[in-house]
A and B are shown apart, each in its own frame.
Chain A
Amino acid sequence: MADEQTNIPAQGGKPEPSGFRLVATLGVAGLVSGFCLVGAYLYTLPLIQAAKAKALEAAIYEVLPGCVRYDAYDLKSGALVKAEGSASELPRVFAGYDKQGERIGFAIQSGVPGFQDIVAGIFGYVPETKTIVGLKILESKETPGLGDKIFKDEAFKGNFLKLEVEPEIVLVKKGEKANPNEVDAITGATISSRAVVSLLNAGMKDWKGTLDKEKKK
């Protein structure tokens, strides 16, 4: 029946359903829902992790131009040790090597609060020249069409191809970049731009001391 009124459960005519029936209905609904969610979670978890690992690997090659191979290192009581296993609780950094086996630099992961949520990224750092040579934003919920220019705008991305980190990275208004440690902000997305700069500075604060001491092997 197409009539919208036909199947309304009669309000007065029907006896009140027992409390047990109400609880049972919700219980069954919750149970079925729970099974669906656990199923979907178990099915998608390896796929999501694989996609994330792939994105991370691609990002390491992207932020260290010329990199053909990389090793993962964990920071253990102030020193770098070769990482074991795919994940660990320790802070992790990636050393990238070129075709000749020379170490190019390090890929450092970092994250800071942005306009909406954590902005997380990975960037390439060369201790010899104390410059950042590439940046890739891995996670961001910045406003689509505006804040998301931090990873879409080519001009903004250009800031991070050769950026000196000393004394620290500074955000300036668009078009006012004059020094090698300055970053041109995105018009209309100052908070997101600022988040990117503090992401870099936070990453440098965590790692610079350790990495600058690392001799080329």
Chain B
Amino acid sequence: MSEQVSSGQNMAVFLKGLWEENPIFVIVLGMCPTMAVTNTAINSLAMGMSTLVVLLGSSTLVSLFRKVIPDQVRITTYIVIIATFVTVIDFLLAALVPDVHKELGAFIPLIVVNCLILGRAEAFAARNPVGLSFLDALGMGLGFTLALLSIGIIREVLGSGSLFTISLFGKGFEPWVIMVLPPGGFLTLGFLMLGVNRLKKKKA
């Protein structure tokens, strides 16, 4: 079997995660971190990047061993692979960037149960060659990061009156505290989904 694919196809696999099949706005996967850590832009970015790294690592490994792993134990094996990556990243963040690790706290270990990662392993990496799986993970991971970041920016600007902790409006601004609370997450996500769906409908 040839593993050669045209560059156009590669591009399509990479791009679909960014817009057409965006993990948050379209597939609606990985909602737990989406709600929990998007109340500031910097947290969203750090969470998105950590997820991206785990996704790249696990998708590549799953794809690499897809013919060796028997079907009956594949989910268990995927979880072992994902959990290993997450724990190693947890250690590394704590050792190398303690401040970021302190920020994200409990949410790093929870990347293990982010269904986006297991979802891509099962739906794509287990059935496709390594190169394509890597591109798929890259596209999905970046799409996830961008979506988290857009939610995080809106919530931080409205809820704290700042962006990346730089104050925007001065002292006269009364922050919408609700935006940094859980309801603000649901509201923002809902309106963004509405916008994305309208745009997609117009195009179609």
**A→B interface (CB under 8 Å):** 1-2, 4-9, 11, 17, 21-22, 25-26, 29-30, 32-33, 36-37, 40-41, 43-44, 47-48, 51-52, 55, 116-117, 139-141, 144-146, 187-188
List, in ascending order, chain B residues with CB within 8 A of A187's CB: 177
| Most chain A beta carbons < 10 A, residue from B5, B71, B87 | B71
> Contacts A7-B66, A36-B88, A48-B94 known; A146 to B180 CB distance under 8 Å?
yes
Contacts of B5 in A (CB 8 A): 1-2
Additional A-B contacts beyond A2-B128, A7-B127, A17-B72 (16; CB < 8 A)? A1-B128, A1-B129, A7-B126, A7-B128, A21-B70, A22-B73, A29-B77, A36-B84, A37-B84, A40-B91, A43-B91, A44-B94, A47-B96, A141-B105, A145-B159, A146-B39
Is B73 within 8 A of A25, CB to CB? yes
Given A29-B77, A36-B84, A145-B40: A2 in contact with B9 (beta carbons within 8 A): yes
Cα of A5 to Cα of B123 in the assembled complex, Å: 10
CB neighbours of A51 from chain B (8 A): 94-95, 98
Residue of A nearest to B177 (CB): A188
CB distance from B103 to the nearest CB of A (A): 7
How many Å from the CB of A104 to the closest CB on chain B? 27
Shortest 8 CB-CB contacts between residues of A and residues of B: A47-B95, A44-B95, A145-B39, A145-B180, A141-B105, A33-B84, A44-B91, A40-B88
Q: Report the interface size class on chain B.
A: 35 or more
Tell me which of A6, A25, A32, A145 contacts B127 (CB under 8 A).
A6
Residues in A neighbouring B123, C-beta threshold 8 A: 4
- Complex Cα gap A189–B126 (Å): 45
The answer to the question of B19 belonging to the interface, with a C-beta cut-off of 8 Å to chain A, is: no
| Alpha-carbon distance between A7 and B132 when the two chains are bound, in angstroms | 13
**Chain B min CB distance to A49 (Å):** 9
With contacts A1-B3, A2-B132, A145-B160 taken as known, whether A117 is within 8 angstroms of B88 at the C-beta atoms is no
Could you list 17 examples of A-B contacts with CB < 8 Å? A1-B1, A2-B9, A6-B1, A7-B128, A9-B71, A25-B70, A25-B77, A26-B80, A29-B76, A29-B80, A47-B95, A48-B91, A116-B106, A141-B105, A144-B39, A144-B40, A145-B180
Nearest neighbor of A19 in chain B, beta-carbon distance: B72
The answer to whether B192 has its CB under 8 Å from any CB of chain A is no
B43 in the interface (beta carbon within 8 A): yes
